[in-house]
Every structure is written in structure tokens, then in C-alpha cells.
A and B are shown apart, each in its own frame.
Chain A
Amino acid sequence: MTQATAVKVRDRPAERTDFWWVEPVVIVAVLGAFVLYSMYAGLAGTNYYFEPYLSPLYSPCITANCVHPTLPIVGSYWNLSPAILIVAFPLAFRVTCYYYRRSYYRAFFWSPPACAVPDARKSYAGETRFPFLAQNLHRYALIFATTLLIFLWWDVFLAFNFNGHFGIGLGSILMLANVILLSGYSASCHSLRYLVGGYLDSFHGKSLRFRLWSWANTLNARHARWAWASLLVVGSTDAYIRLLAMGVLHDPRIVF
């Protein structure tokens, strides 16, 4: 037996020897890649429309200078990329999302990097101070981001219209998958679950709210999957339309 030394139990080094670091590394890689790509795509201001497809990062296109304006409420004085005026809303929704918070606090802040692995920081105040106090406004981000879904569904409707003829292209399918996943991501939101009925202490005599809350619960159980799937498909849809507009890809389609 070894001799006991005066190492206090809290001062012991972390005992986990498994691959706990894999998850934070994957999250940093995927989220980091998405952030970098969306910054490039959002700031570029070009190649976001290939008839009849509009990139979800640019929808609704609200400037007069848009290649394909949806709702031109901003005049031609706006010379920057139209995406800059839109992207803040879905970005705020994801940044304040309860699932993404779990992921980026672990992966980027190492607070903690994994369960039972020590925090990287000496002091910790959680979400009691600015800017993290603003996480409490997630429900407003939900409302704005969900409103944008109306425009994305309209874009999908247009994406099946090829010069007045109904058709299906790979871009139409991608845009449909994108809006379904984004709708699922919004519908599975923890704040929505609260707003549709979770605030009640008793559901007796409130059958509609109980049903809505129950549906939201079912979707909420897979919120993480909706979050990742919608993130990857948003990026892929923009990349596909971008490559079409750049002439790199050809869109396979059937027009009736």
C-alpha cells in the first residue's frame, strides 16, 4: 500500500480518464464552422438568389437593393448586405436557446467542459450578471424568429413555381426540409412550451392549453436534434443556392 499524503479530496485532480473532451471539440468545430460560414455568406451580399430559390439567410429580403425583394421596406440607401438586417433575429434565438446554452457553455466557456471535470474559471456567476442576464429574454427571440418562419414558408411556396409551372427541384426539396426543421426547432422550444401552457399550475378545464403543452413536451424531448438538424440544413441550403448562383452546380428539377 502507498502512504497517505495530505491531498484534500477537493484538490484531487479530475479522475475522469474517458474521452470527455470529444463532445466539446466536436461542438466547437461544428458551431465554429457554421458561425464562420454564415458570417461569410451573410456579409457577402451576392449569390443569394437563384430563381426561384432565395437563401434562408437572406429571407425576408427587406431592402430595395435586393435581387429578389420580399418586403422592400428599407430604401436603396442601404448598400450593405441585406442579410445583416435579418440574421440578428435567428441568431438571437439560437444564442439564447436553452439547448445551445448547454452546448456552448461547455464547449467554448469550459464551464464546465464536461460533467465532473473542473471549470476553467476560478470564479463563476452563471446567468446572474450582464451579458448573460439577457438570456432571460429568450421568449422574445422566439417570437421574432418564429415570425420570420412565415416568410420562409412563403419562399418554399415560390420554390415550387418555375415560371408559372409547378415543379420540383433539389433546391425546392432542400428549402422545404429547411423550413420543416426550423419550424420543428421553434415548436420544440422550452419557452414556447411554457407560453402555451407550462405557466399553469392546473390544466383542469383548460384542455386546449393542456393539448398544446403536451405536444410541445413531445417535441421538446428532441429539442437538441431539431437544433442540430436545422442548423446543418440552413447552412447546406444557403451553400447549395450559392453554388447554383455561382454556376458551380446544376439544379436537377422536374417541371410539370
Chain B
Amino acid sequence: MPDTQVWVWRGDASGGDFMPYRVEADEGMVVLDVVHRIQAEKAPDLAVRWNCKAGKCGSCSAEVNGHPKLMCMTRMNEFAPDEHITISPVKTFPVIKDLVTDVSFNYEKAKTIPPFKPKPRDPDGKRRMYQEDVERVQEFHKCIECFLCQDVCHVIRDHEENKESFSGPRFFVRLAALEMHPLDANERIDLIRAKHGLGFCNITKCCTEVCPEDIHITDNAIIPLKERVVSAHYDPIAWALRRMRGKKDEFAPPEPKPPSA
């Protein structure tokens, strides 16, 4: 196989730049293999996070030619022989070193989601969940937490100031899995609107496009959550029906105010 040249971003939080590396590319190689070969032959101090090499651990997220991708699932033969190939860390999170970023934003957001709270058992002491309901939320459990959807989401990628008020697509998937769970008794709709900032999402579907697990994040998680928020907060007929049925409106915190420019 001929040599291949890739430009890898090297640096840390203070700055950095793309560095060219030329290595031999074997047939069937993925981008992560090339990074490993650079580590082995040219730059042993190159930092990269990886684990399974099978697209299931979500560790090796990066941007290849500007596209958020898993390096282990991006084959080198996708590129033309003379193509300028760049490999850079995900842009939404702070760089620690080279291709490794600090994704603790996501773990902090995860802590703010009320956990699953089971409904009371049936009279026979069991809890039942039916197949049609299982299938609906199963899709959301495929998430491998690669955070590519978080990386590509322009709400936080291009507007750092929104990180406080917006949790991002990965957590709307988590919230949808809980909200649509037939055995969950927790109420999160007000929280989804006010604390997780669902209204910031303008459904441009980039999260769906980059998801390596093909989760229909926008269509099956975000939009159904938006519709539930509409019923709870914006739909006058739904409000009137709730009042007629004697259901009290829950306290609704105000919509988070976006920071001014």
C-alpha cells in the first residue's frame, strides 16, 4: 500500500496546530489504525482516547475532515489517494491534549436528570411492560455515549454561553427514554423545558446525521418531547381540558433566558 499523509491536530488548552504525518496505509485500515501507527512510529506522545475499536465504546470520537466521526468506524478507503485528511479533537469540549477532550460537561448534565422511579406494582405483586412499549424506548438505549451528537449540536458548539441552559441531544435521548417509559412515575416535562432547554433546539437534525448507532434522535426523541412540552405549556385546548378534568397545573419554572450577545 502507498504512504498516506494525514494532518493531526497537536496541542493543548493553550493552543496548537495541525501537524503532517506520513505513514504506510494497509488495506482495510481505519483512521484509528493510522493514529496508532503514528503513535508507534512517529509520535509516541500523541494523545488519543480509544478502547474497543468496534464502534461500541464511544471513546474515539474526533473530527475527520471536519465531520464528527468515530475514528474506529471511518475507513481510510473513503478518502481519495491524494485527499488532504485532517484529524482533530471534537470542537465542543475543552482540549486536554491532542485528540483528547474533557467531556465532563456531559457527566454534570447527566446528574441533573431525575432517575427512573418505578410505578406501584400490579395487584399480583408484579410489574408488567408490554412488547410495543419496549420497542419504542429500546432505540434510545442503543446510545453508546460517544457524544458526537453533543459535538455537532450548534447550540453549544458555536455558542459556549448556552452550555448552562442547554443539555444537548444525548440528554434528550435519555429524557425521552425515561419520559416514554410506561413504568416510570417521575414527571420531567417542566424540567425538560426550563432546565434542559429543549426550546433552544431548532431541529436541524445534525445530531441524527452523526449518530453512529442510527438513533433517530430528532424525530423519535426531541420532537415527541417538544410535543409533550407544547401540551403542558403552550396548547390552550390541552390546558382547558386539563382544567375541566380537574388536573392542577404543575408549577412551571420560566423558560431559561438566553444570554445576550
Contact = CB atoms under 8 A, between A and B. Distances in A.
- Looking at chain B's contact residues, the main secondary structure is mixed
A133 B202 CA distance: 11
A112 interface: yes
A245 B229 CA distance: 47
B88 A111 contact: no
User: For A1, A128, A210, which residue has the most chain B Cβ atoms within 10 angstroms?
Assistant: A128
Interface in A34-69: none
User: For B11, B68, B84, which residue has the most chain A Cβ atoms within 10 angstroms?
Assistant: B11
Contacts of A203: 130, 132-133, 136
User: For A4, A122, A198, which residue has the most chain B Cβ atoms within 10 angstroms?
Assistant: A4
A123 B14 CA distance: 24
Interface stretch (A82-90, A101-109, A152-160): A101-109
Interface residues of B, number: 70
A137 B235 CA distance: 7
A129 B84 CA distance: 42
Given A7-B15, A15-B63, A123-B259, A137 B9 contact: no
Interface stretch (A73-81, A113-121, A172-180, A229-237): A113-121
A199 B202 contact: no
Given A10-B91, A105-B202, A122 B261 contact: yes
B203 interface: yes
Contacts of A190: 219, 223-224, 227
Interface residues of A, number: 55
B19 A2 contact: yes
A52 to B, nearest CB: 38
Contacts of A221: 219
Contacts of B162: 124
B200 interface: yes
B234 to A, nearest CB: 4
Contact of A17 (B66, B89, B136, B157): B66
B142 interface: no
B178 to A, nearest CB: 10
A112 B201 CA distance: 12
A189 B179 CA distance: 21
A6 B200 contact: no
A116 B63 contact: yes
B106 interface: no
A59 to B, nearest CB: 27
Contacts of B206: 112, 115-116
Interface in A190-214: 190-191, 193-194, 198-199, 201-204, 210
Nearest to A10: B91
A106 B204 contact: yes
Interface string B1-43: 0000000011101111111100000000000000000000000
A220 B220 CA distance: 10
B67 interface: yes
A4 B16 contact: yes
Nearest to A198: B224
A12 interface: yes
Given A111-B154, A204-B130, A126 B227 contact: no
Contact of B17 (A4, A191, A193, A199): A4
A161 to B, nearest CB: 38
Interface string A1-32: 11111111110101111100000000000000
Contacts of B227: 139, 190-191, 194, 198-199
Nearest to B95: A9
B16 A126 contact: no
B223 A98 contact: yes
A15 B88 contact: yes
Interface of B: 9-11, 13-20, 63, 65-68, 84, 86, 88-89, 91, 95, 130, 132-133, 136, 152, 154-155, 157-162, 179-182, 184, 197, 199-206, 209-210, 218-219, 223-224, 226-231, 233-235, 255-256, 258-261
The 8 closest A-B pairs by CB, nearest first: A15-B66, A6-B15, A123-B261, A202-B182, A16-B66, A115-B206, A126-B200, A194-B227
29 contacts: A2-B20, A6-B14, A7-B16, A8-B15, A9-B11, A10-B91, A12-B88, A12-B91, A18-B65, A98-B203, A101-B202, A105-B203, A111-B204, A115-B204, A115-B209, A124-B162, A126-B155, A128-B256, A128-B258, A133-B234, A136-B229, A136-B230, A136-B234, A137-B230, A190-B224, A199-B227, A202-B130, A203-B132, A204-B133
Given A111-B204, A138-B230, A203-B130, 4 more contacts: A4-B17, A116-B68, A136-B229, A194-B227
